[in-house]
Structure 1
Amino acid sequence: ELEFYSIKVQDGPLTSKLQHIQPGDEIILRPKPVGTLVHDALLPGKRIWFFATGTGFAPFASLLRDPQTYEDYDEVIITHTCREAGELVYGAEMIEQIKSDELLAELIGEENLAKLKYYPTTTREESVKMGRITDLMRSGEAFADLGVEPLNPETDRAMICGNLAFNLELKEMLEGYGLEEGANSDPKHYVVEKAFLD
């Protein structure tokens, strides 16, 4: 079973076709993931941050199921910021599935799945945690809530996938913490989804 979490872009290069796929249609998948959000683009570290807005959660759904994520890091943190609480449902359900998946627990190890921390926030509709993740990081509230130190290039690695303004703001923030942007050919401390940066 394949699952896609995306907005529908009428003339988008992928979603204009993807949204019309029907059961029984054939698709071609490559065995190795490609793009910016892959482990090979990061240097080894202790803690990985996945920063997402809206459907930017999608690429992290597979990384959160990847045993390498838990082998490579002592802590795995995913933040998901949306306008309304209903937009957080997919991510919350995915995290719950991952934490309760017996096969995944056997493959990865229950103790490793315990490394996973989920930090959802909303910016418009009232929820348990209100605010943009960037503001919550600036104030120190996010770090206090998660029980972790602020980002440090010695220990932290990050992947960013969200809207253009979010990606650019977070990129600037991470560089303020001393993290450097990496690529498959030049691994560093963080990577950004490039689809929105053209």
Structure 2
Amino acid sequence: MTKWVKAKIKKIIYWKKNLLKILLKAKINKFIAGQFSKILIKKNNQKKIQRAYSFVNPPKKKTIKFYITLVKKGKMSKEIILLKKNDKIFISKNSFGFFTLKEIPSSKNLWMFSTGTAIGPFLSILQEKKDIKKFKQIILIHSVRYFSDLKYLNLIKKIKKKYKKKLIIKITITREKIKKFLYGRITKLFLNKTIEKITKINMTKENSHVMLCGNPFMVKEMFYILINKKKMTKNLRRKPGNITRENYW
């Protein structure tokens, strides 16, 4: 049973009508970078609505940050849009999930594929830096629909600077062509070998582990591409493999 604690909203930043960042203050137990928490909002009639969101902040930071896309006609979205600074909501005291580097075997290359707000857990992981030494090279491939959706671009650049050559970051935009960015869906760019060519890294089951997070269609499609084209296997505790995945809604 989930144990809930009160959380105070420190700030809400609306980047677009449907894209926002929520900053919270709450006494929760320490989480592992890559995990998610649950938010609960009580309506006036005491009906409760809850959803899971991954942390953007690393565990060492006291301010809790969530990167959220509002869904049209979504029950939780309708409540979130009414929230304001200093409002009280509830957050799970403990965090959940196995989308962490702790669960991944050592490998020469670690590939991170994300779409939209699902870059959150990767930002948390890369800021925390724990278990990073298990990998010689890290490659982050992030996809958004429009350039205006790249709200964490400055943080991405700061992270890249700290990691130097150990981290390769490539961003692709799917609905408009922008100079210096890739154009097209992750799956298409992977199938036509653009991603491997531009990163200059040949992905094999012997040298790579792949983390997939985001749009369930991307995650599912990439999962089967990796199984069929690269002969990779799902990563399990009892049987280590090459693919770790998490759907983002």
1:63 partnered with 2:125: yes
* One-letter amino acid of the structure 1 residue matched with residue 197 of structure 2: A
Equivalent position of 2:175 in the other structure = 124
Higher share in strand: 2
Higher gyration radius (CA): 2
Superposition CA RMSD, Å: 2.5
Give how far 1:25 is off: 4.0
- The gaps in structure 2 that reach 5 residues or longer are 1-62
Alignment of 1:68-83 (within 5 A): 68-83=130-145
Distance in 2 (CA, whole Å) between partners of 1:161 and 1:52 is 5
Aligned residue pairs total 181
- The gaps in structure 1 that reach 5 residues or longer are 106-111
Distance in 2 (CA, whole Å) between partners of 1:46 and 1:21 is 45
Q: Provide the TM-score with structure 2 as the length reference.
A: 0.64
- The answer to whether the 8 A contact 1:70-1:113 is kept is no
Alignment of 1:116-195 (within 5 A): 116-127=167-178, 128-149=181-202, 151-176=203-228, 177-184=230-237, 186-195=239-248
1:84 partnered with 2:136: no
**Do the aligned partners of residues 34 and 165 (structure 1) sit closer, same or farther apart at CA in structure 2, a change above 3 Å counting?**
same
- The answer to whether the 8 A contact 2:219-2:247 is kept is no
Distance in 2 (CA, whole Å) between partners of 1:30 and 1:190 is 29
- The answer to whether the 8 A contact 2:115-2:214 is kept is yes
Identical amino acids, percent of aligned pairs:
23
* One-letter amino acid of the structure 2 residue matched with residue 116 of structure 1: L
**Do the aligned partners of residues 166 and 74 (structure 1) sit closer, same or farther apart at CA in structure 2, a change above 3 Å counting?**
same
- The answer to whether the 8 A contact 2:216-2:247 is kept is no
Equivalent position of 1:108 in the other structure = none
Equivalent position SS for 1:74: strand
Distance in 1 (CA, whole Å) between partners of 2:103 and 2:96 is 11
Q: Provide the TM-score with structure 1 as the length reference.
A: 0.78
Distance in 1 (CA, whole Å) between partners of 2:234 and 2:89 is 36
- The answer to whether the 8 A contact 1:36-1:184 is kept is no
**Do the aligned partners of residues 131 and 3 (structure 1) sit closer, same or farther apart at CA in structure 2, a change above 3 Å counting?**
same
Name the structure, 1 or 2, with higher relative contact order (CA <8 Å, separation 6+).
1
Give how far 1:167 is off: 1.0
Distance in 2 (CA, whole Å) between partners of 1:91 and 1:77 is 17
Equivalent position SS for 1:58: helix
Distance in 2 (CA, whole Å) between partners of 1:7 and 1:173 is 27
Equivalent position of 1:95 in the other structure = 156
Distance in 1 (CA, whole Å) between partners of 2:138 and 2:207 is 12
Task: Summarize deviations over 1:27-74 as a string: whole Å, max 9, x none.
Answer: 65657x631311233221111111011111111110111223531111
